[in-house]
Amino acid sequence: CLQEPDIVRCVSLSWSRCQVFIKAKMQSDDKRRAHFQNVLPFPGIKTYVDPDTYEDPTQAVHEFTKEIDPSRIRIERVIGAGEFGEVCSGCLRTPGQKEIPVAIKTLKGGYVEPQRRDFLREASIMGQFDNPNIIRLEGVVTKSRPVMIVVEYMENGSLDSFLRQHDGHFTVVQLVGMLHGVASGMTYLSDLGYVHRDLAARNILVDEGLVCKVSDFGLSRVLEDHPEPAYNTMGDKIPVRWTAPEAITYRKFSSASDVWSFGIVMWEVMSYGERPYWEMSNQDVILSIEEGYRLPVPMDCPGVLHQLMLHCWQKERGQRPHFNSLVSFLDKLIRNPTSLLTLVDNR
């Protein structure tokens, strides 16, 4: 909708320039509307704001993250390779002069602007979250090089490799406790209207007290440089083994498709980091799921947990449980561990 000052401006422009002006104005109004629809669908209820609704993504970084002075960061060692550069461990001096352990994701030199934008996109998503089961963003360094994202340090690294290194070491209640943490984090995200799309044990981090936190909010990884690459018929790259059939086929990503992925994470946890569907090809996984095949119960896994996995893998997404009921169910199992004693005889 053009307002009076806009019309006055139009009169002083030539007609073709005026048309361009009207179009640009309408587009920016649409964007602003989309942005406010994201921010305020229900007044008083916090929702996630997609940084892509900002005309200038740098604005989202300013809004949702804190700039850290690099003199407060001490990098100690490289702990892994991220999609955009090295991941290091180190310390961050807080304003109260305390030092806290942190992980530092760096953007490697020679990047082009879209890579910088994608890299910082994850920070503007993470910066909106505040939950004990979601990895906490400390801040970003954008005003000097290297560009960095600083997050809380998780002593035991990613859940899949942690479980593989400790095969058979935990009680069922401890494993269910880990899953309870993941489900709590996912409840928080789905309540905010955030769909993760890449929930997998490799994207969960574990701290020294075995608390599990959801991480990896860079959607770009799903679409571009993913460790589990496979194309669907629409040409998207998708982590097939973790993804619900409707998301693979029709891009119908939702909290219900995240619940399917959560079922796969349950299976990964109960089998101590086994690869879902083992060496089956992605195409065979898709066909088998379509024919009704589902992953069998892992060794020593209580039947009640496999039943819960099967519930998450219902073909009809409307019939899958919500994350909040998964949390209540897992909570009851932890409080009443006798229900975890019955194993499935799968010999």
For ligand ACK, the nearest residue by Cβ is: 80
Identified binder of ligand ACK from the candidate list 47, 161, 220, 339, rule CB under 6 A: 161
258 is in an annotated binding site: no
- Do the Cβ atoms of 199 and 214 come closer than 8 Å? yes
Binding mask 118-137 toward ligand ACK (x if CB under 6 A, else -) reads: -----------------x--
Q: Is 167 annotated as a binding residue?
A: no
Per the annotation, does 225 bind a ligand? no
Number of residues in contact with ligand ACK under rule CB under 6 A = 13
Nearer to ligand ACK, 154 or 285 (CB): 154
Whether the Cβ atoms of residue 239 and residue 230 lie closer than 8 Å to each other: yes
CB nearer ligand ACK, residue 40 or residue 81: 81
Retrieve residue 81's tokens.
């390779």
Task: Using the structure block, give the residue that is written with the tokens 């406010």.
Answer: 36
Return the residues of window 22-81 that contact ligand ACK according to CB under 6 A.
79-80
Q: Which of 60, 73, 87, 247 binds ligand ACK (CB under 6 A)?
A: 87
Burial of 259 (0-12, 13-18, 19+ CB in 10 A): buried
Of the candidates 205, 244, 289, 297, which one interacts with ligand ACK according to CB under 6 A?
Answer: 205
Asked if residue 202 belongs to a known ligand binding site, the reply is yes
Binding window for ligand ACK (CB under 6 A); candidates: 148-156, 169-177, 242-250, 314-322:
148-156
Contact window for ligand ACK (CB under 6 A) among 154-162, 290-298, 327-335, 337-345: 154-162
Single out the residue of 288, 307, 284 nearest to residue 297, CA to CA: 307
Residues 118, 160, 198, 258: which is the catalytic one? Answer: 198
Residues within window 227-286 making contact with ligand ACK, judged by CB under 6 A: none
Residue 210 in contact with ligand ACK, rule: CB under 6 A: no
Q: How far is CA 209 from CA 49, 122, 241, in A?
A: 31, 26, 29
**CA–CA dist 251, 322 (Å, integer):** 20
> What is the nearest approach in angstroms of ligand ACK to the Cβ of residue 274?
16
Residues 6+ apart with CB under 8 A from 146: 85, 106, 107, 108, 109
Q: E-assigned strands of the chain?
A: 73-81, 86-93, 99-106, 137-141, 148-152, 204-206, 212-214
Taking the complex as a whole, how short is the minimal distance between the CB of residue 153 and ligand ACK, in angstroms?
5
Task: Name which of 146, 140, 113, 115 is nearest 127 in CA terms.
Answer: 140
Query: Residue 237 — φ and ψ, nearest 5°?
Result: -90, 130
The residue (of 132 and 296) whose beta carbon lies closer to ligand ACK is 132
Q: Which stretch binds ligand ACK (CB under 6 A): 118-126, 155-163, 230-238, 326-334?
A: 155-163
Task: Determine whether 198 is an active site residue.
Answer: yes
Least distance from ligand ACK to the Cβ atom of residue 147, Å = 16
Nearest by Cα to 203 from 139, 137, 157 = 157
Phi-psi region at 190: left, alpha or beta (left = phi > 0; alpha = psi -120 to 50) = alpha
99 three-class SS: strand
Q: Which residue ranges are tagged as binding site for ATP?
A: 105, 202
Catalytic site positions: 198
Residues that bind ligand ACK (CB under 6 A): 79-80, 82, 87, 103, 135, 151, 153-154, 157-158, 161, 205
